[in-house]
Amino acid sequence: MPHSPEEKRKVLARVRRIRGQLDALERALLAGSDCAPVLQQIAALRGAINGLMSGVLESHLREELGAPRASATDRQASIDDAIALVRSYLR
C-alpha cells in the first residue's frame, strides 16, 4: 500500500486510467472489433497492471527495508517478507 498521500494519489490515478482502459476494451469486445486492436488493448492493460504492481512493490520495499529495525530478527523478518512478496509477483 502506498505510504504517503502523494504515492496514494499517484496509485489511485493509475488505477483510474486502468479502469478507463478496461472499459474501452469491454466496449471494443461488445462492438465486435477486430482481434488486432483488441489484442493491442489487452497488451496495454497488461503493461499498465505490471507498472502498477511494480510501483506499489517498490514503495513497499523502500518502506520496509529502509526503516531502521530494532533487532537482527526484525530485519531478517522484513527481508523474508520482501522475498516472499517478490516471488509471488514473479509467478
Burial of 12 (0-12, 13-18, 19+ CB in 10 A): exposed
Over residues 40-58, mean pLDDT: 93
Q: Which residue has the cell 498521500?
A: 5
- Enter the DSSP assignment of 71: S
Domain ranges, ordered by start, for the chain: 5-89
pLDDT at residue 86 above 90?
Answer: no
Q: Which of 33-37, 67-71, 82-86 has the highest mean pLDDT?
A: 33-37
Q: Which CATH code, of 1.10.8.10, 1.10.260.30, 3.20.20.70, 1.20.58.1000, is assigned to 5-89? A: 1.20.58.1000
Burial of 11 (0-12, 13-18, 19+ CB in 10 A): middle
Over residues 62-87, mean pLDDT: 80
pTM greater than 0.85 (yes/no): no
pLDDT of residue 1: 66
